[in-house]
Structure 1
Amino acid sequence: MLERGVHILQSFRPTGQPQSLSAIARRTDLPKSTTHRIVEVLAGQGLLERTGEGWVLGRALFELGELVPIKRRLRETALPFMEDLYEATHETVHLAVRDDLDVLYAEKIRGHSGVDMPSRVGGRLPLSSTGVGKTLLAFSPASLVEEVVSRPLRRLTEHSISDPAVLQDELATIRAAGVGYDREEAALGVSCVAAPVLVRGEPVAALSVSVPSGQLQPARLAPAVRTAALALSRALSR
């Protein structure tokens, strides 16, 4: 029952949009009667709510989510540095962490450019197709890099890296420079500069600034992102 309940909650990924009971049953491959019974139990605990458009994730999940350590300690510590970075660039700023072979976005401050981006708080994208993801990967153990390159690299655009050798070369460049780049690899028309947040040498997070590709200015953005990441690293180390 518990496993099926979690499966139902996860069926709302990645958008969290309302779903009908039939849609939930279809996405979870559960009988409709079983789905109905579990949905009613979840609703009774506030984990799901019924709206005019269908079932949605409940407020109890929001309350629990606010208690997750990544949301509290990391986000609360990072926000002042993200705000400083935003004030310096007026572009979209991201805070991200690694979750298995994905990057998970923990916070986002939207910039003035209004460019469409696939990132959202709580959303995830492949490590190899994002600036924050490649930066996290570059400073991770070699065993993780081997695991990533041993599998087909997921592509989000035609600019995403698909050759493991090319990815490994770029990771070496990121380690040497202390910053990484995404040049339309996650979304067409969008580029970013990212830097790792290191605590005792371990990459616990990454910060980035995303801009329209035509406005990518590494000489201006890279020092700002690197400075913010170093300052956050010192704050977390304390």
Structure 2
Amino acid sequence: MKEKYWVPAIERADKVLKLIGEYPNQLRLIELSKRADINKSSLFSLLNTLETLKWVTKEDGDSYSLGPALAAIGSSYFRQFNILQSFYKEASQSVSKINEHIQLGILDEGDVVYLGKMEGDSRVRLITDPGMRFPAYASAIGKIQLTPCSKTELEEIFPDQWESKTPFTISNIDALYENVQEAKRNGYAIENQEASLGFHCVAAPVYNFENKIIAGVSFTMMTSSWEQKKDAAREEILQLASRLSQLAGFTGEQKQRIE
């Protein structure tokens, strides 16, 4: 059902712009008319208006591409995008579903720098707070951001001697690379008592408009909660990461569940 104050003309323009963005310099008026289910006379007026406003450009062969006005609008959006502000807005929804702590962090060389935290009802005290640094190899939120790295790049990032936070902490490049590759295949990373005994994390990557990982988000909980909530937490952290990625301009698809 349409919303009360819905404007059909804007909906049609949105549909046309998305089609042109998906098939740049490929669709002419007749193809756009069929795909968008808009009659040719209405579409002609719509395209003429969009072309005049420089939202679209008519190319040789009468096909269409997105125009420079959209580039300017997109640039303005990304200048105002604030990942921390978006995190606090979006994470509240995820915390209300799982009721466990969520953190946001970025990768800085071999460390995670934590930027934000939103807490569930658990009284458990996390070992990391906003502003703190923590080894990426010992955290799910770090390992998910290491997934673009080759084994050689991991060797360059981490020294030979690693600090073991617990008996379960990864302690060598081979194990880290295998763990990171598994996270890459799944689309999420899991950390089982590697940062602190009795704690478990699941993390997902946040992508930007260039399809690059710019941050990670993670749920952290104790073993008793993990056994009950790990599947739901995995699904929800993927959903949160997807929402943040979309706000950052990501246009690809993130894995939403294990295959």
Taking structure 1 as the reference length, the TM-score comes to 0.66
Give the C-alpha shift of residue 165 in structure 1: 1.1
Give the C-alpha shift of residue 151 in structure 1: 3.0
Q: Which residue is 1:154 aligned to?
A: 163
Partner secondary structure for residue 237 of structure 1: coil
Find 1:182's aligned residue among 191, 196, 217: 191
- Residue 129 of structure 2 is aligned to residue 120 of structure 1: yes
Q: Which residue is 1:165 aligned to?
A: 174
Give the C-alpha shift of residue 172 in structure 1: 0.6
Alpha-carbon distance between aligned partners in 1 of 2:162 and 2:90, rounded to the nearest angstrom: 32
Map residues 65-80 of structure 1 onto 2, 5 A cutoff: 73-80=82-89
- In the alignment, is the contact (CA less than 8 A) between 1:115 and 1:190 conserved in 2? no
Q: Which residue is 2:206 aligned to?
A: 197
Q: Which residue is 1:61 aligned to?
A: none
- Residue 111 of structure 2 is aligned to residue 102 of structure 1: yes
Give the C-alpha shift of residue 140 in structure 1: 4.3
Partner secondary structure for residue 161 of structure 2: coil
Find 1:93's aligned residue among 99, 102, 107: 102
- Residue 225 of structure 2 is aligned to residue 209 of structure 1: no
Amino acid corresponding to residue 130 of structure 1 in structure 2: S
Amino acid corresponding to residue 249 of structure 2 in structure 1: S
Aligned residues: 167
Structure 2: where are the runs of 5+ without partners?
1-80, 251-259
- Residue 73 of structure 2 is aligned to residue 84 of structure 1: no
Bigger-Rg structure (1/2): 2
Find 1:139's aligned residue among 148, 161, 171: 148
- In the alignment, is the contact (CA less than 8 A) between 1:197 and 1:233 conserved in 2? yes
- In the alignment, is the contact (CA less than 8 A) between 1:117 and 1:190 conserved in 2? no
Partner secondary structure for residue 167 of structure 1: helix
CA RMSD of aligned residues (A): 1.8
- Residue 244 of structure 2 is aligned to residue 232 of structure 1: yes
Alpha-carbon distance between aligned partners in 1 of 2:148 and 2:94, rounded to the nearest angstrom: 22
- Residue 232 of structure 2 is aligned to residue 220 of structure 1: yes
Give the C-alpha shift of residue 119 in structure 1: 0.6
Amino acid corresponding to residue 147 of structure 1 in structure 2: E
